[in-house]
Amino acid sequence: MIFPVLAVVKKELTSVVRDGTIVISILIQLFIASFSSGLLLGMLSLYDADTIVQFGGNIKIGVVDSAENRLASLMRERGLQVMEYATLAEANAAYFHGEVLAVVDTPQDVNGLTQVDLYLPASETTSSLIRMVIQEPLKGYENYLRTEKGIELRYADLKGKPATSFEFVYSVLIPMLMFFPAFVAGSMSVDSITEEVENKTLQTLLSAPLTLNSMIAGKIIASVILAFLQCVAWLTLLQLNGIVIQNTGWILLLALMIAGITSTSSALSAVLLKDRERSQFIYSLILLASAAISTLLNISPITTMSRFAIGDAYTSGLNIVIFAAFLAGLCLLLSKLSRRLLV
Amino acid sequence: MNQILVIAWREVTRLRKRFGGGASPLAVVGLLALIGLSAYFLRDSVSLGAGLYRVGVSGDVPLIEDSRFAVLSLTSEEGKVFLEDKTIDVFIDGSQVISRPDDRSQYAVRALKQYMEAAELTRVGNSYDGESAFPLRVGINYLDASQPTGGPDAAAPAEVIIPSLTPPPAPFTQVLITLIYIMPITFISIFFTSSFMDEKMNRRLIVLLSAPVTPFQIIMGKMLPYALFALSTTALIAYFTKTNVLLALAIFAPTTLFIFAIYLMVPLFYRTFKDTTFIAMLVTTLTTAYLIFPAMFTNVNDLSYISPLTLAVKMYREEPFGWREYLFPSFPMTAIFLLTMFAGTRLLNEEFLMGYKPLTRKISDAIYLMLARSKTYLSVPLWSLLVIPAVYMFQILFLTFATNLPVRLILGFTLIASAAMEEVIKSISIVVLARHDKAGSWRDLIGLSFLSALGFLVGEKLLVLISIRMVSEAPVAGALFGVGLLLFIPLIAHFVFTSIVVLTHTKLKFPYPLAVAAGTIVHFFYNVYVLRGGF
């Protein structure tokens, strides 16, 4: 009984390796991973004031001086280079000589409000950059004005470290690399099952000493093995890159469960619909729907995966049980419905 | 035209039959409704870093409703213990925030800072009048770099902002809006692919080919319903997001054609179902990357105009753009569409469709079929010239890919990858012809290498001419497309590299990848020399 299943597994695996399709899959994942981190790098360097100040060199801003200019000192604290000028005309002249990138006029009281005039270059690129780095000092100045009016903004002095990169790695990159192989495994199961039907090779296959269920099981197992191997490879690569990942055992188990769930549910849709076009379509809809529902029910495997990876104290093997139970249910359902493939 | 319409109608009927039987349409509608509903509920709660931080609170602390934080109510003592043993990342005791010095805790503090800032602003905005809560107005004025004004002018500022309520301009949200356009187009084109595959599978396509219709009519007919559907979704989205429908159509029509063109190639090349799945995934990833990545840099870098999404972002911001900006992304996309249509008409024959060969063999056969019907001295340079837009897109993708590398490797990687790409493009046509014994003598090979180099150079310079204003501002792109003003030296250089590849492969019998590597290395050093200001 077990040997025919193994034979199917072996056949599926060799065909994937021979066709070279698995190479494309790995290429896609590599591309998605580097694309999304490249995107993040771009976002970080262009839309993060910290990075701009750190790497942007000296950003010189001209300030029209007055006796006590709180805004100017806030800009210095931000790491900007502030040049003081006596009048706006002088500051503007300095701008046209290229000494400063932008000019900030003296704050003035207008009908109970404080107004500051900002003079920026017409070039969109430079002006949006300056607006990004000057945002923090302006907000600080606004807070200072609020305090003067007796309004206290709480938690205004929090600092911390920029978390974008950390959040990206643990909540996007790791779950994506762990679940994308599962998603591919589902598609593969649909392909290999519907291919037997559409090529009319199913009957021939079943005339061998092989039951329908073990044929389907073999195809699912082959897809899951491939997904699992990819997950192991990604985890190793991530750790070689110096990303600290806790609970690797649980992470792999969770990835295995999810690959099992996607392949079984895709096999289910293949068994019921029997052609690739509709099965793939329904499978991807199911995938989207279950991602949404699991997030809604607060049992999202993505969050569980992130929490495992950062070593969250409240996340343990118990969180995987629900996915295992769901997988068992799906397998049972599939074994009951598999006969439909022959009808 | 009539034939095309007949095939188009047949396609619509086919699709209706396929999805008409049984309860499946109901199920599809149900599932779609479910997804829509969940997306509606999830629209605010899904964010970068969902579930990453555990926060302990005690005393009077504003309610933390953000998917990034899991909140625990603790007493003051418990909080400190939990923080110490790393069960929680940060502890808020009344108005005091306690953290550990390690990274994880500090990241949590920064995330908390962002959340609290917004929450406190809302609180202050609700409990005080507008002028006290937001006491600062910043007038933004723009200075023209060329003309110094006489002095402080009394002109009103271009815009007046409240700093805490006005985030600095970033195109991120608008890029996401424009992404909504791409998703239906991709989805619809997947159906287009499936339809082709289905017909290939049950051999109806072969029957169709023996009927008195041309391959061009078949492709157009099958594409028409899907393309119209895709364009009408574009129009609908534009209408519902209250923007200029005609402008949106003009922006996204080349993109639609481009995506369809690429998906047309999938069924022509696949051998097994798994192939299709993987190729389709690869194609989706690459096109999405190509479209989104540059758009992120709207208004930051002029190279962002290579993506039509940048135009869409501008459209949503009601900023004007000119013909150059429009043609810059649209021309290569349309050119690729035309090229694939041509390829499609040549490849749509029984032998090519049904052959089971390694993918590389299939590609080489495809190139041969595209070249074979005309004289080699015409087809080779034309091939090199017409493939330029595709080369250009791949080079952009290399650049995207390279941003992930350490900074000092970016330029090197991009240069090597694009040199390799160019060498493949210039030599592959000749190599394929030689394999089919259409060219063999030294004279043939060298002559064709020269023509191929010439075609490539002309195409390259035309592209630079079209895009000179945008690209010239970006040094890396300048290097990619060649900065040498003298046409003679680059021509000789291209000719030499191509000859190296062609001759080492066909005459010295080196494997093709090795031959390309040889050409690439020489090409790379030439590029480096040019970049250093050699010519």
> Mind telling me how many Å the CA of A12 is from chain B's nearest CA?
11
Question: Chain B partners of A153 at a C-beta cutoff of 8 Å?
Answer: 120-121, 124
B462 interface with A at CB cutoff 8 Å: no
From the list B32, B148, B162, which residue is nearest A96 (CB)? B148
pLDDT tens-place string over residues A302-320: 889 999 999 888 888 888 9
Q: Is residue A153 part of a domain?
A: no
Question: Chain A partners of B409 at a C-beta cutoff of 8 Å?
Answer: none
**Single-letter code of the amino acid located at A156:** A
From the list B19, B137, B274, which residue is nearest A188 (CB)? B274
How many contacts (CB atoms, under 8 Å) link A and B? 320
Residue whose structure tokens are 């929450």: B119
> Mind telling me how many Å the CA of A326 is from chain B's nearest CA?
19
* Secondary structure class of B141 (helix, strand, coil): strand
A95 & A197 share domain: no
| Contact in structure between A5 and A221 (CB atoms under 8 Å) | yes
Is there a contact between B32 and A285 if contact means CB atoms under 8 Å apart? Answer: yes
A77 & A205 share domain: no
Q: Is residue A182 part of a domain?
A: yes
Average pLDDT over residues A25-31: 77
> Residues 241-260, chain A: which have Cβ within 8 Å of B?
none
- What was the ipTM of the complex prediction? 0.81
Taking 50 as the threshold, does the pLDDT of residue B255 lie above it?
yes
Tell me what pLDDT residue B170 has: 58
Mutate to test the interface with A, among B107, B176, B201, B362 (most CBs of A within 10 A): B107
> Residues 427-446, chain B: which have Cβ within 8 Å of A?
none
Is there a contact between A160 and B197 if contact means CB atoms under 8 Å apart? Answer: no
pLDDT tens-place string over residues B35-48: 666 666 655 555 66
By CA distance, what is B148's nearest residue in A?
A96
Q: How far apart are CA B498 and CA B523, in angstroms?
A: 9
> Among A123, A148, A173, which residue terminates a domain?
A148
B285: CB partners within 8 A, 6+ apart = A28, A31, A32, A35
| Contact in structure between B235 and B249 (CB atoms under 8 Å) | yes
pLDDT tens-place string over residues B435-465: 887 777 888 888 888 888 888 888 877 776 6
Q: Which of B12-21, B52-61, B270-279, B357-366 has the lowest mean pLDDT?
A: B12-21
Q: Is residue A81 part of a domain?
A: yes
Domain ranges in chain B?
53-129, 170-356, 357-535
Tell me what pLDDT residue A326 has: 93
Measured CA to CA in angstroms, residue B330 lies from A209, B262, B397, B422 at distances of 57, 15, 17, 22
A308: CB partners within 8 A, 6+ apart = A246, A247, A250, A251, A254, A315
Q: How far apart are CA A102 and CA B145, in angstroms?
A: 11
Tell me how many domains chain A contains. 2
Query: Please, what is the average pLDDT of chain A?
Result: 84
Residue A169 DSSP class? I
> Mind telling me how many Å the CA of B74 is from chain A's nearest CA?
15
Average pLDDT over residues A214-241: 90
Q: Is residue A230 part of a domain?
A: yes
As to burial, measured by CB atoms within 10 angstroms (0-12 exposed, 13-18 middle, 19+ buried), residue A157 is exposed
A70 interface with B at CB cutoff 8 Å: no
B117 interface with A at CB cutoff 8 Å: yes
Average pLDDT over residues A57-72: 78
B205: CB partners within 8 A, 6+ apart = B196, B199, B218, B348, B353
Question: Chain A partners of B277 at a C-beta cutoff of 8 Å?
Answer: 21, 184, 187-188, 190-191, 280
**Single-letter code of the amino acid located at A102:** A
> Residues 150-189, chain A: which have Cβ within 8 Å of B?
151, 153-156, 158-164, 166-168, 170-172, 184, 187-188
A68 & A199 share domain: no
A179 & A195 share domain: yes
| Contact in structure between A266 and A283 (CB atoms under 8 Å) | yes
Q: How far apart are CA B342 and CA B332, in angstroms?
A: 15
A134 & A220 share domain: no
Tell me what pLDDT residue B121 has: 86
Taking 60 as the threshold, does the pLDDT of residue B484 lie above it?
no
A227 & A117 share domain: no
> Among A148, A176, A207, which residue terminates a domain?
A148
- Percent residues over pLDDT 90 in chain B: 5
Taking 90 as the threshold, does the pLDDT of residue B380 lie above it?
no
Is there a contact between B113 and A121 if contact means CB atoms under 8 Å apart? Answer: no
> Mind telling me how many Å the CA of A7 is from chain B's nearest CA?
19
From the list B128, B299, B403, which residue is nearest A41 (CB)? B403
Is there a contact between B38 and A292 if contact means CB atoms under 8 Å apart? Answer: yes
A92 interface with B at CB cutoff 8 Å: yes
B35 interface with A at CB cutoff 8 Å: yes
| Contact in structure between B332 and B393 (CB atoms under 8 Å) | yes
A286 interface with B at CB cutoff 8 Å: yes
A30 & A169 share domain: yes
A58 & A26 share domain: no
A139 & A270 share domain: no
Top-confidence range, A8-22, A73-87, B87-101: B87-101
Is there a contact between B286 and A31 if contact means CB atoms under 8 Å apart? Answer: yes
From the list B18, B293, B299, which residue is nearest A277 (CB)? B18
As to burial, measured by CB atoms within 10 angstroms (0-12 exposed, 13-18 middle, 19+ buried), residue B294 is buried
Quote the domain boundaries for residue A250.
Answer: 2-42+162-342
A204: CB partners within 8 A, 6+ apart = none
Token pair listed for B72: 């625990």
Q: What is the CATH number of the domain that holds A70?
A: 3.40.190.10
Question: Chain B partners of A285 at a C-beta cutoff of 8 Å?
Answer: 28, 31-32, 35
Q: Which of A57-61, A176-180, B20-24 has the lowest mean pLDDT?
A: B20-24
A55 interface with B at CB cutoff 8 Å: no
A230 & A336 share domain: yes
Is there a contact between B52 and A146 if contact means CB atoms under 8 Å apart? Answer: no
Higher-confidence residue: A55 or B178?
B178
Q: How far apart are CA B78 and CA B58, in angstroms?
A: 10
Q: Is residue A195 part of a domain?
A: yes
Tell me what pLDDT residue B22 has: 47
